[in-house]
Chains A and B, each alone.
Chain A
Amino acid sequence: MEGFNHSGIVETDQELHVLAVDDSLVDRKVIERLLKISSCKVTVVDSGRRALQYLGLDGDKNSVGFNGLKVNLIITDYWMPGMTGYELLKKIKESSTFKEIPVVIMSSENVLPRINRCLEEGAEEFIVKPVKLSDVKRLKDYIMREEIEVEDINQRKGSSTSQGALKRKLDETHHDNENENDDDDILFSSAPSSPLSTLSSSPLNSPSRRLKTSEDDDDYSD
Chain B
Amino acid sequence: MLGFGADRLRADMNRLLALLFHQGVLDEQFLQLQQLQDETSPNFVSEVVTIYFRESEKLLTNLRELLSDRDFSDYKKMGIHLNHFMGSSSSIGAKRVKNVCVAFRAASEQNNRLGCFRALELLEHEYCYLKNKLHEFLQMEQQRIMGAGARYPIQN
**Interface of chain A residues 132 through 151 with chain B (CB within 8 A):** 132-133
Q: With an 8 A cutoff between CB atoms, is A64 at the interface?
A: no
Report the bound CA distance from A29 to B88 in whole Å: 11
Q: Which of B36, B93, B109 contacts A219 (CB 8 A)?
A: B109
Q: With an 8 A cutoff between CB atoms, is A97 at the interface?
A: no
The reply to whether B55 and A24 contact each other, CB–CB distance below 8 Å, is yes
Give the residue name and chain of the A residue nearest to B56 (CB): A26
B contact residues, total (Cβ < 8 Å): 25
The reply to whether A29 and B48 contact each other, CB–CB distance below 8 Å, is yes
Q: With an 8 A cutoff between CB atoms, is A34 at the interface?
A: yes
Q: Which of B41, B52, B55 contacts A33 (CB 8 A)?
A: B41
| Cβ-closest 4 pairs across A and B | A26-B88, A108-B87, A130-B29, A33-B36
**Interface of chain A residues 69 through 113 with chain B (CB within 8 A):** 77, 79, 81, 108
Which label, helix, strand, loop or mixed, suits the secondary structure of the B interface?
helix
Q: B41-62, CB under 8 A of A: which get 1 and which 0?
A: 1001001100110010000000
With a cutoff of 8 Å between Cβ atoms, the chain A residues found around residue B142 in the complex are none
The reply to whether B80 and A24 contact each other, CB–CB distance below 8 Å, is no
In the complex, besides A37-B38, A108-B87, A108-B90, 4 extra interface pairs with C-beta distance below 8 angstroms are: A24-B84, A25-B51, A130-B93, A219-B109
Q: With an 8 A cutoff between CB atoms, is B14 at the interface?
A: no
A contact residues, total (Cβ < 8 Å): 20
Of B32, B35, B38, B91, chain A has the most CB atoms within 10 Å of the CB of: B91
**Interface of chain A residues 19 through 54 with chain B (CB within 8 A):** 23-27, 29-30, 33-34, 37
Q: With an 8 A cutoff between CB atoms, is B86 at the interface?
A: yes
Of A23, A24, A130, A220, chain B has the most CB atoms within 10 Å of the CB of: A130
Q: Which of A26, A79, A220 contacts B91 (CB 8 A)?
A: A26
Q: Which of A25, A30, A37, A108 contacts B83 (CB 8 A)?
A: A108
The reply to whether B80 and A130 contact each other, CB–CB distance below 8 Å, is no
Q: With an 8 A cutoff between CB atoms, is B122 at the interface?
A: no
Q: With an 8 A cutoff between CB atoms, is A129 at the interface?
A: yes
Q: With an 8 A cutoff between CB atoms, is B33 at the interface?
A: yes
The reply to whether B51 and A29 contact each other, CB–CB distance below 8 Å, is yes
Give min CB distance, A148 to chain B, whole Å: 27
Give the residue name and chain of the A residue nearest to B49 (CB): A26
Q: With an 8 A cutoff between CB atoms, is B134 at the interface?
A: no
The reply to whether A129 and B87 contact each other, CB–CB distance below 8 Å, is yes
Q: B14-36, CB under 8 A of A: which get 1 and which 0?
A: 00000000000000010011011
Report the bound CA distance from A29 to B92 in whole Å: 11
Give min CB distance, B130 to chain A, whole Å: 14
Q: Which of B38, B79, B87, B109 contacts A24 (CB 8 A)?
A: B87
The reply to whether A37 and B36 contact each other, CB–CB distance below 8 Å, is yes
The reply to whether A27 and B87 contact each other, CB–CB distance below 8 Å, is yes
Give min CB distance, A162 to chain B, whole Å: 33
Give the residue name and chain of the A residue nearest to B36 (CB): A33
Report the bound CA distance from A27 to B29 in whole Å: 12
Report the bound CA distance from A85 to B74 in whole Å: 23
Report the bound CA distance from A57 to B52 in whole Å: 32
With a cutoff of 8 Å between Cβ atoms, the chain B residues found around residue A132 in the complex are 29, 32
With a cutoff of 8 Å between Cβ atoms, the chain B residues found around residue A220 in the complex are 79
Give the residue name and chain of the B residue nearest to A27 (CB): B91
